[in-house]
Structure 1
């Protein structure tokens, strides 16, 4: 066997290839980080200055008046909370079936494929679907319709995370509980869930971050509301729609509020991702 040194042409070729690929990877990393930091810096410069107490105490104003985004913030929190409460149990149970019961047969692979399609589906398609099956039937927009649309976005994220986390649980734990005569349902709830809990919670938090800025599904379902409303059966104000409407308006005060709302959502999503990747990491 020949020694590896600079005179070896195979070694020199592999070393050159390694340097080229490392350089291209570094360039791609810097290119992506450049745009990311530029977007965050633009939002902070134009929106952070408008983050004041009035933003969290006053409702959206008419043109030419001062105001805030409290009604939009409350509407977004209400719909996101209901969406997560609907989507999380469905996602966790579906992911549990795929990881614990879907080792044989065609149903589990088909479900994973459909879940991956739904995970990458444009959110506007989900909004149009809920509009067709719910909004058009009842004859009006509502917060419930928006919450259902957001829950459909939550489901595939939680399914994928739950499936992946449960598959990482060592089979030796399952075999040990089976050897003790433990039923499978109890093994799942007492062993598998406990071992994968941090990963499942991380998936739920990432799903919350995913739906925090969704505009397209709410355009077809919840629409918006200029006033404070707690009624989920009526059109409900929400941050994404307010940002969309105010950013496209010709009024400078509305545009300022749009930048403030965009900065607020960005900071929230950034905080959720940091929490998900640090607090629950083991």
Structure 2
């Protein structure tokens, strides 16, 4: 064996001491144990306080041990990584807790009967009934809002990115930014004022119009960002071949960004699916099945949850129905996201080897 190979196997003098890979887990376990001991000793009943103490101990412990073994420079790197993990856990723990609580309380009455029956003549204080009428109303209202908002939002984004120049483009961008922050109740009041002008009664399509107003700026912004990610070289190559600009947009730009556009539309759908205020003002709620969104009051899942919880005082049945409807709404949003991912993967540009 040559001297060069032997020299390569010797430890380098430039390589300092390193903590083992399991050190972070050991520090985390120790931090949790100390936090539990402090919480029990100090009489802290909240698990949130225990978690915050454990997070602080984990960061301080990581820095102290890494600074002693690896040096201050590597310790700063490790503490930055620790802060990222702590921030991740702070975001994930409430989400997991929310889903767990919803599943735990929602499965009590969630069955086929609950999904295929309406409230009908069942009083809110009585057991029984279901959410079929609310599911039907939500699907129709959100679907109509998507049919209105998605094409307008995508076309507006195409104009801003591909054609928009001058004062008109700046005005459109300004109003899109303003509409992004509009409270849902304002959109509902706007449509309600139009209904009062024409002496109209509550109906499902009115809620769809308010939801479309809330959905449109989100679609515009997400689509605009996706279109900006398409490399200009693709546009220039298509135009250099003599392809018209509109055809370049249809055949090159949109297929390249269709995955991101679809995801943005589904995220906006998920946002409006849980809106309650516009539906409460414009749709009004209906315990019976109404499959016509253009005539008569209609139900929706968010409104059903609100009404059941509002009437749950002294009624376990209404309380359980509210949680079961909440679980159904979460499942509905999750299915939308899975469908969006499937469409994005299906429509993504195929690259050959």
Deviations 1:75-95 (A, max 9, x none): 111111110001111001101
Q: How far, CA to CA, are the matches of 1:45 and 1:120 in structure 2?
A: 34
- Cα distance in 2 for partners of 1:23, 1:170 equals 36
Confirm whether residue 24 of structure 1 aligns to residue 88 of structure 2. no
Residue matched to 1:72: 134
Matched residue count = 275
Does 230-239 or 12-21 show the bigger shift? 12-21
- 1:140-184: CA deviation from partner (whole Å, max 9, x where unpaired): 211111010111122112111211111111212211221222221
How far apart, CA to CA, are the structure 2 residues paired with 1:26 and 1:65? Answer: 45
Consecutive unaligned residues in structure 1, runs of 5 or more: none
Aligned to 1:121: 182
Q: In 1, Cα distance between the equivalents of 2:91 and 2:230?
A: 34
CA contact (8 A) 1:157 1:203 kept: yes
CA distance in 2, matches of 1:188, 1:134: 39
The correspondence for 1:52, drawn from 87, 103, 111, is: 111
User: For residues 280 and 48 of structure 1, what CA distance do their matches in structure 2 show?
Assistant: 32
Rg comparison, structure with higher value? 2
- Compute the displacement of 1:135 (Å): 4.7
TM (normalized to structure 2)?
0.72
- Mapped pair 1:271 → 2:335: yes
TM-superposition CA deviations, 1:94-129 (whole Å, max 9, x none): 011111112x32433443343233223321221122
- Native 8 Å contact 1:243 1:262 kept in 2: yes
Greater mean alpha carbon deviation, residues 258-267 or residues 121-130? 121-130
Query: 1: distance between equivalents of 2:182 and 2:193?
Result: 17
How far has the Cα of 1:48 moved from its partner? 2.3
Distance 1:223 1:43 in 2: 26
Q: CA deviation at 1:274?
A: 4.0
Q: Distance in 2 between matches of 1:30 and 1:65?
A: 39
> Which stretch of structure 1 is more off in the superposition, 229-238 or 115-124?
115-124
CA-based RMSD of the aligned residues comes to: 2.2
> Which structure has the higher relative contact order (CA within 8 Å, separation 6+)?
1
